[in-house]
Structure formats: structure tokens, C-alpha cells
């Protein structure tokens, strides 16, 4: 256990569904991240939140919508996804301190879009 | 486009041998370097971080950094079957308010009996 939890662990959804992924960190960190991991591809950074403010959006399609209500919780709202969005979605957190902060990952949500 | 390159493997080593995993990166301004281990179906787990040129040892693991050559490596001594996993190299280039890591595709390590 890294202190970062994610729910649900597995999710199957149709292209017309709306669902949300939840991440919670119990480490007292001030930054949280969403990553996408597809087969044979490196982890792709999707969103970064620092002190609840979104500081990065790596050209992610608008069908992915992040929400960070406080420094411990992070959501990824999903709607009208495509089959190619099927992947492992990972949440991470870190305590920002210059350039030495380390990211710790949650267990991930395995998403399948039918 | 910042890139991190790793040989995808699989790298096969016998039990008890030294496994050597390599990573090169394109952004010369990179400051922080991380090795994560990822078992199949699991999330990445931090193994080592290194920030300065030279070697950093932690138990059976040694990270080596050469910023001039833009090269970082991970040595695993006395390899065990439980070390069989994919090892991800991650590089942080910016010094902004939150770290943005660029990951390699990972090297799959197989430790054989």
C-alpha cells in the first residue's frame, strides 16, 4: 500500500455511459496526477493538480474531465468514451519540494470501453 | 519532444546474477531520475531516485547517473525470481511547481532459475 487508493479497480462501460474514477491520497501530499497506461506505450501524463489548481493538461480530449475538490481527492469524469480509451488509469501524488519530489502511484483502474 | 528510451527486452538473467537496465534521455536539462518496478497487472512502485552524477546504492539496487552522456542505469545484484517485472525509467525535466515525469516504455526483466 502506497497511501494512494483508487476506485473502482475495474470498470466496463459503453460508449454512451458517464462514469467517474476516484483517487484519494492519505500521504498529506499537495500535488496529484492522472496517467494513462496503454499496452506497449509509455505512461502518458494526462493532468496535474498542484495545490488544487490544474497546472497541466496534456492535450487530453474533452471527454475526460478532471476535478480536484481538495488536495486529498482527485476525480476523472468520463463521458462518451471510445474503445481506444480502454487502458489502465493511474493516479499518483507527490509532495512538491523543488525538483526532488517523488510520485507514488495508486493501484489503478482498469477501464474497458465497449 | 522529450524522450526517454529503454530497451523493451525481455532481459533474461539467471538467478544470482547481476541485471543491468539502461535508460537514455533527450532533455539535457533533466534534474531528477527515477526507477519504478511494475509487476504485470499492478501499478508502478518506486525503486530508486537519483539526482547527482555517480552511483547510489540501496540494498541490492544501484542506480548510476551520467548527465554528460544523458544516461541512467539500474543494477540489480543477486537477482531473484521475484525481481521479474517491468522496470520503468522516469525523468523529470522541469523545475516547476509540480513534477512532470516522462516515462520510458520499460524493460521487462526475467530472472530464470
On the question of pLDDT at B9 being above 70, the answer is yes
Shortest Cα–Cα distance, B110 to chain A (Å):
17
pLDDT tens across B60-72, in order? 999 999 999 999 9
pLDDT tens across B19-66, in order? 999 999 998 888 899 999 999 989 999 999 999 999 999 999 999 999
Out of A41, A48, A106, the one facing B100 most closely (by C-beta) is A48
Tell me the three state secondary structure of residue A80: coil
Instruction: Tell me which chain A residues have a C-beta less than 8 angstroms from the C-beta of B49.
Output: 100, 102
C-alpha cell at B72: 541512467
What span, in angstroms and rounded, lies between the C-alpha atoms of A95 and A92? 11
When pLDDT is averaged across residues A4-8 and rounded to a whole number, the result is 97
* B22 CA to centre of own chain: 7
Percentage with pLDDT > 90 across chain A: 72
What span, in angstroms and rounded, lies between the C-alpha atoms of B76 and B89? 14
On the question of pLDDT at B94 being above 90, the answer is no
pLDDT at A84: 93
What pairing do the DSSP bridges indicate for beta strands B107-112 and B11-14?
parallel
Residue B112 and residue B85 in contact, taking contact as beta carbons nearer than 8 Å:
no
Residue A31 zone, left/alpha/beta (φ > 0; ψ -120 to 50; rest) = beta
Instruction: Tell me which chain B residues have a C-beta less than 8 angstroms from the C-beta of A96.
Output: 97-99
pLDDT at A59: 83
A95 touches chain B (CB under 8 A): no
On the question of pLDDT at B97 being above 60, the answer is no
When pLDDT is averaged across residues B77-97 and rounded to a whole number, the result is 88
pLDDT tens across A53-109, in order? 777 777 899 999 999 999 899 999 999 999 999 999 999 999 887 767 889 999 999
CB contact under 8 A, A96 and B99: yes
When pLDDT is averaged across residues A7-34 and rounded to a whole number, the result is 94
| Smallest CA–CA distance from B92 into chain A, residue | A99
pLDDT band at B1 (very low <50, low <70, confident <90, very high): low
When pLDDT is averaged across residues B84-110 and rounded to a whole number, the result is 86
Instruction: Tell me which chain B residues have a C-beta less than 8 angstroms from the C-beta of A55.
Output: 96-98
A16 touches chain B (CB under 8 A): no
CB contact under 8 A, A100 and B95: no
pLDDT at B95: 57
Residue B21 and residue B73 in contact, taking contact as beta carbons nearer than 8 Å:
yes
pLDDT tens across A24-42, in order? 999 999 999 999 999 888 9
B7 touches chain A (CB under 8 A): no
Amino acid at each position: 500500500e502506497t497511501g494512494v487508493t483508487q476506485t473502482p479497480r475495474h470498470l466496463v462501460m459503453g460508449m454512451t455511459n458517464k462514469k467517474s474514477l476516484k483517487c484519494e491520497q492519505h500521504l498529506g501530499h499537495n500535488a496529484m496526477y492522472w496517467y494513462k497506461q496503454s499496452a506497449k506505450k509509455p505512461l502518458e501524463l494526462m493532468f496535474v493538480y498542484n495545490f488544487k489548481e490544474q497546472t497541466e493538461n496534456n492535450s487530453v480530449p474533452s471527454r475526460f474531465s478532471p476535478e480536484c475538490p481538495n488536495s486529498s481527492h482527485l476525480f476523472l469524469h468520463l463521458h462518451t468514451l471510445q474503445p481506444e480509451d480502454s487502458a489502465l488509469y493511474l493516479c499518483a501524488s507527490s509532495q512538491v519540494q523543488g525538483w526532488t519530489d517523488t510520485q507514488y502511484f495508486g493501484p489503478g483502474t482498469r477501464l474497458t470501453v465497449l | 519532444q522529450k524522450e526517454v528510451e529503454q530497451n523493451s527486452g525481455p532481459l533474461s538473467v539467471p538467478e544470482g546474477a547481476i541485471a543491468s537496465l539502461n535508460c537514455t534521455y533527450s532533455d539535457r536539462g533533466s534534474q531528477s531520475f527515477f526507477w519504478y518496478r511494475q509487476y504485470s497487472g499492478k501499478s508502478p512502485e518506486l525503486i530508486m531516485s537519483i539526482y547527482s552524477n555517480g552511483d547510489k546504492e540501496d540494498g541490492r539496487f544501484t542506480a548510476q547517473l551520467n548527465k554528460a552522456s544523458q544516461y541512467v542505469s539500474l543494477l540489480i545484484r543477486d537477482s531473484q525470481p521475484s525481481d521479474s517485472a517491468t522496470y520503468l525509467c522516469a525523468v523529470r525535466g522541469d523545475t516547476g511547481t509540480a513534477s512532470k515525469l516522462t516515462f520510458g516504455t520499460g524493460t521487462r526483466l526475467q530472472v530464470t532459475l
